């Protein structure tokens, strides 16, 4: 899922300080499931913005929370929020960058501010303590060659022919030896699968075009 973290309250207050009324809109999709930007977080942010603004003598009088099942879907936004946000001067979205942009496309006459810094596509660890980046969306998947572990994302250097030599006890020097070296993981996994032939295969330089922005897909069939 798409992950992110909320901007500092101070920064958000600075962004919205000129508005009397704000609609704070959560997303029940990825960021809602991870309790980063769902309805509860939108409610909490609305209260904090009102409260914080009083302390700083700002002008925000009214901040109300709403939510959408998925802010990346124009039809859902229109269906769930149509007409409800008219009275607000501006919108603060707690969705990812996709949600913020989709909201801005729907509410053309309002400014939509991002409450989150969108980070990456990832998942929780088993303990649920941390979210890990697992996919970069590089457009040229090699997971079938690497034991189901993505070197483009989980190797700090995105190497196709790793490891680089910068790991100690299987931990990567980038991130102060707290992250697993993806290539040690790949080696161990392929070894356990008796597929070291995949490990020893030299991979040619990549054509980077499938990862170049902006990208688009034809069609996009509706679920």
Partner 1 sequence: MKKIKEGKFVFTGELEPEKTTDLTELVESAKKLLGHCVACNVTDNPQSMAYMSSLVASHIVQRDSGMECVYQLRCSDRNSIALTSDLLGAGALGIRNVLALTGDHTSLGDYPGSMPVFDLDSGQLVYLIRRMVDEGVDLNGKPIEHPPRFHVGVAGNPNADPLDSEILKLKRKVEAGAEFVQTQVIFDIEIAKTFLKEMEKYKVPVLIGIFPLKNYGTADYFDKYIPGVHVPKDLLAKMKEASEIGDKKKKMERYDEINLDYYGDFVHEIAHNTSAAGIHVMAVAYERITPPLIECAKI
Residue 167 contacts partner 1 per CB under 8 A: yes
Please state, in angstroms and rounded to a whole number, the distance separating the CA atoms of residues 43 and 77: 18
Residue 156 contacts partner 1 per CB under 8 A: yes
Q: At what angle do helices 74-81 and 97-106 cross, to 10 degrees?
A: 60
CA distances from 91 to 64, 112, 175 (A): 10, 5, 36
- Least Å distance, CB 52 to partner 1, is 29
- Least Å distance, CB 116 to partner 1, is 21
- Least Å distance, CB 83 to partner 1, is 44
- Least Å distance, CB 139 to partner 1, is 15
Nearest residue to 1 (alpha-carbon basis) of 91, 70, 80, 93: 70
Residue 135 contacts partner 1 per CB under 8 A: no
- Helix residue spans in the chain (DSSP H): 9-16, 30-33, 39-55, 74-81, 97-106, 151-154, 182-192, 196-200
User: Which residues, in sequence order, are CB contacts of 105 under 8 Å at separation 6+?
Assistant: 74
Please state, in angstroms and rounded to a whole number, the distance separating the CA atoms of residues 3 and 180: 20
Nearer to partner 1, 107 or 187 (CB): 187
Query: Of the candidates 98, 134, 138, 159, which one interacts with partner 1 according to CB under 8 A?
Result: 159
Query: Of the candidates 39, 107, 113, 199, which one interacts with partner 1 according to CB under 8 A?
Result: 199
Residue 192 contacts partner 1 per CB under 8 A: no
Nearer to partner 1, 34 or 187 (CB): 187
Query: Of the candidates 165, 214, 219, 220, which one interacts with partner 1 according to CB under 8 A?
Result: 165
Residue 16 contacts partner 1 per CB under 8 A: no
Residue 216 has a CB neighbour count (10 Å cut-off) of 5
List contacts with partner 1 (CB under 8 A). Answer: 156-170, 173-174, 177, 183-184, 187-188, 196, 199-206, 208
């Amino acid at each position: 899922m798409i992950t992110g973290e909320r901007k500092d309250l101070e920064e958000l207050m600075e962004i919205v300080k000129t508005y009397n009324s704000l609609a704070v809109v959560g997303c029940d999709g990825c960021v809602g499931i991870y309790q980063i930007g769902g309805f509860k977080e939108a409610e909490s942010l609305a209260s904090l913005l009102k409260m914080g603004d009083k302390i700083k003598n700002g002008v925000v009088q009214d901040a109300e929370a709403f939510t959408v099942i998925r802010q990346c879907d124009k039809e859902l936004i229109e269906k769930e929020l149509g007409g409800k946000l008219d009275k607000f001067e501006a919108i603060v979205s707690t969705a990812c960058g996709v949600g913020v942009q989709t909201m801005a496309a729907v509410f053309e006459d309002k400014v939509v501010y991002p409450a989150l810094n969108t980070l990456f596509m990832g998942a929780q660890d088993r303990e649920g303590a941390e979210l890990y980046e697992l996919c970069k969306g590089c457009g040229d998947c090699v997971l079938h060659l690497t034991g189901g572990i993505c070197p483009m994302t989980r190797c700090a250097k995105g190497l196709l022919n790793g490891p680089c030599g910068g790991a100690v006890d299987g931990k990567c020097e980038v991130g102060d030896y707290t992250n697993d070296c993806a290539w040690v993981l790949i080696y161990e996994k392929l070894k356990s699968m008796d597929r070291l032939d995949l490990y020893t295969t030299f991979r040619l330089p990549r054509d980077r075009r499938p990862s170049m922005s902006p990208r688009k897909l034809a069609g996009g069939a509706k679920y």
